[in-house]
Chain A
Amino acid sequence: MNIYVCIKQVPDTETKIKLNADATGIDPTGIKWIVSPYDEFAIEEALRLRDKNPGSTVTVLSAGPARTVDAIRTALAMGADNGIQVETPETADNQLVAKALAQALKKEAKVDILFTGKEAIDDGASQTSQLIAEHLDFAHVTVVLGAEYTAQSVTCRREVEGGAIEIIEAQLPVVIAAQKGLNEPRYASLPNIMKAKKKEIKVLKLADLGVSEADQKVRVKNLQLPPPKAAGRKLSGDTAAQVQELVRLLHEEAKVI
């Protein structure tokens, strides 16, 4: 099988977000870049599928600036066979990225299945897998918790509302967007880390792919930091009053219920 994975490099979850001078993006100094956690489930699923189907290969693609190769190396260290970086500007939107990745995939001999994470934890948009699927005219299944594969199709368990699980069958070729719980991503072994350092990563430029900045459809106009979280407070009054106040705050202030 020709298995592909699209991943995104994102700031680590613990990153303190600071804005750049004109508030159109974040200040990248001091940021630790990681592979978006949902993408790790995608990589792991691809590797497991490959290992069950001898003769298969796993190719990892990622769009982004030069630093993106580190994310690809992480995937190679986990065991992926090939890596492709698609050079896109920092400001690219998901449409541009998806189109570039789709064009890169069209250059490949055959794509049987493409894995992604269900969303990237930076912009949290959950768009790219569906966008690529449409560009390639593939079926797609998102938020996948489990999958069984045959040569022609894949049967997925996907999470829908209210904790319900939808069982959906899709014909190959297909794009699968992984949810947490699909598997337990492996920790790269050191020999694989060493090997990954030496692997060549193919670099594709937008021009090579017939994609231009005109394919960008949205742009971040400005960023804002939320007002600093108010210091925690202990409620007062008798127990009943405290409980009532708590429910009110959760509803009106925190808006979580």
Chain B
Amino acid sequence: MTWQTFLFLAVAGTAFGYSGYRFSILFKLMKAHQGQGRKVDRIPERISTVILNVLGQKAVLQKKGIGIAHTLIFWGFLIISVGTVEQFASTLVQGASFEFIGHWPYRAFLFLHDIFTVLVLAGVGYAAWRRYLVRPEGLGKSHDASLVLAFTAGLMVSILIMHGFHIAGVQPDYSSAMPVSSSVAAIIQGLFGFSPGVNAIIGTLFKWIHMCLVLGFSVYIPGSKHLHIVAAGPNTFLKNLDPTKAMKPINFEDESVTQYGTAKVSDLSWKDSLDYYSCTECGRCQDVCPAHNTQKPLSPKNLILDLKNNLYANKEAMLAGKYDEVTGVIDSHITEDVIWACTSCRACEVACPVFIEHTDKIYDIRRNLVMMESKFPTEVQTVFRNMETNASPWAFAASDRANWAEGLSVKTVAEETDFDVLLWVGCAGSFDDRNKKVLRAFVSLLKKAGIKFTILGNEEQCTGDPARRIGNEYLFQTLAKANIETLNRYNVKKVVTACPHCFNTLKNEYKDFGGTYDVVHHSQYIAQLLQDGKLKPTKSVDETITFHDSCYLGRWNNVYEQPRSVLGAIPAARMVEMKANHAESMCCGAGGGRMWMEETLGARINVKRTEQALETKAGVIASSCPFCMTMMSDGVKTKEMQDKVRVLDIAELMDQATP
């Protein structure tokens, strides 16, 4: 025990005490949320997710340059933290060290420690170069980030100087394991030529500087974006494990529920706050957001930060349990326009290195706006009315639903009980002249392959997807239950549909209401028919084709390859990818109910995506979704390219190629 022991105890006690207090408030804030958080199940999968993404930095490495820099800093942080613990120990108990782990292991540790100190510095250098010179738009300006970079650099520099003086002063036998620090020692000797005693004292001084930086950092972290070093690990552990995702159902039977959706931050869940805590403000979500990239007021990054700020502003009321006093989630930052701008494409969620789920928060806020406050863009009222009275978002008579199939001798399930698969037509296929042609082409393919199929005919109703994404869960459930009743009544087992929105809803969301079916998208079905040799495309389609990924097929359901394999099977067709493809594909602008809303802010999303498609010089833009079809076709017309570029569904192309 020396004066250093007592000084350290006092300083570290204060720092950790204060830091701990701040963390405890964050924890209590988490617990003060009223919404339902994620259920912790499938532990082994979660552990392997953490190993892969935290230790392995897989998600971070989706972006190469900064991903590598972050990985170096993160691994360095792990190793250097062990060194910091050793420093703390040796300050508390004179001469304490980790040398007991063995001669070589200890030297190996020191070697790594030494090397990573430099690698971390290199990583910080790269990050600083990017932040101050490259300045990607998504990063924005952040004093917090500058301070964190300075802290980290300070920590590394203090380590090197500490080790340099220590080696110069004490000349420990393990110095050979620390090549960098040894070089620093040599430089110090050459520069100053102090006596070993003086060097040792300066070494101790820098150890204190380093330890104070660490302690200062620990106090700083809870209020900083660097909170992610604590939160991101748990958030990764708690991530949504499937690429597919169903929206959370509301139990309308439960009469104790009086608040539907999120009016206040407290209506969200503890997991949502963990999302804010995890956010590092890297801006990857913003970079890929179709709304942000067309000058809409929505930035997924700002949404998360604004929610965090709203939570902090309501700290007192939340902690006191005075939920009445918590202010609304819609404020001067999160405006209604922000909430309505989302196309539910989930590009933000796929891009997020710490698995923040942005869109669920938006849907939940929409639920409150729609169901509690009846606030939504005026044109949406027509959509709701149509869905309520005609079971279609467009104003068409329910009794006209099967008219598209006139002359095709397609039987309804009421007329024909022996079938392999039920064809779910969808509202676009039923009522939109352009998409009726897609359905006719798909029917033609099914016939060519000799498949026994039926349709529900006029008994089919909208799946409810538009209502659900817009926030009208009540209307969604009304339609879902009616459809499930019909499907179950006819004992339907397998369903194929040409609409990814219907596909997603039938496959992933009806489960929660008693409707479990084997649902495939027509791209998957056609791919299977090709594989089984039931379809034999032999006619050449001499076209250059670029495929536009539908969000609800790709990011929502992880179906990327089958539509491409279908196109690839077309003789003479040449495939060319857009720059943004697969998981990075850009939304057409129609998802999340935006198909039925006006786009009055910023540039048009469909035009931007069409421009990306036109860049490929392809003569055909292939789509696999009725909404994408509409949006891309409109985009092509806007660009006045309709004479040179056609937008076709994969089924239409395959039908052309199949005799």
Contacts and interface: CB of A to CB of B under 8 A. Distances in A.
A132 B458 CA distance: 41
Interface stretch (A54-62, A112-120, A167-175, A186-194): A186-194
B215 to A, nearest CB: 51
Contact of B374 (A32, A34, A188): A188
B389 A14 contact: yes
A189 B376 CA distance: 12
B381 interface: yes
A191 B384 contact: no
Interface string A1-24: 000000000001011100000000
A169 to B, nearest CB: 32
Interface string A165-209: 000000000000000000010111111010000000000000000
Nearest to A185: B381
B390 A12 contact: yes
A231 to B, nearest CB: 13
Residue among A12, A32, A184, A190 facing the most chain B CB atoms (10 A cut-off): A190
Contact of A16 (B374, B381, B397): B397
Contacts of B395: 14
Interface in B303-353: none
Contacts of B376: 187
A186 B390 contact: no
Given A16-B399, A30-B399, A191 B258 contact: yes
B72 interface: no
B397 A14 contact: yes
Nearest to B378: A184
Contact of A186 (B370, B374, B396, B399): B374
Contact of A15 (B258, B372, B396, B397): B397
Given A14-B398, A15-B397, A187 B381 contact: yes
Contacts of A190: 260, 371-372, 474
Nearest to A18: B399
Interface residues of B, number: 19
B373 interface: yes
A189 B372 contact: yes
Nearest to A30: B399
Contacts of B381: 187
Q: Do most interface residues of chain A lie in helix, strand or loop, or is the interface mixed?
A: loop
A34 B260 CA distance: 26
Given A32-B389, A32-B390, A187-B381, A14 B374 contact: no
A71 to B, nearest CB: 13
A189 B371 contact: yes
A32 B390 CA distance: 8
A186 B373 CA distance: 10
Contacts of A16: 397, 399
Interface in B373-406: 373-374, 376, 378, 381, 384, 389-390, 395-399
Interface string A96-109: 00000000000000
A70 to B, nearest CB: 12
A187 B374 contact: yes
A16 B390 CA distance: 12
Interface string B500-516: 00000000000000000
Contacts of B373: 189
Contacts of B389: 12, 14, 32, 34
Nearest to A190: B371
Contacts of A30: 398-399
A34 B370 CA distance: 21
Nearest to B255: A194
B390 A191 contact: no
A189 B472 CA distance: 10
Contacts of A186: 374
Interface string B534-570: 0000000000000000000000000000000000000
B399 A193 contact: no
A73 to B, nearest CB: 13
Given A32-B398, A187-B376, A191-B372, 10 more contacts: A14-B395, A16-B397, A30-B398, A186-B374, A187-B381, A188-B374, A189-B371, A189-B372, A189-B373, A189-B374
Interface of B: 258, 260, 370-374, 376, 378, 381, 384, 389-390, 395-399, 474
9 contacts: A14-B395, A14-B396, A14-B397, A15-B397, A16-B397, A187-B384, A189-B374, A190-B372, A190-B474
Interface of A: 12, 14-16, 30, 32, 34, 184, 186-191, 193
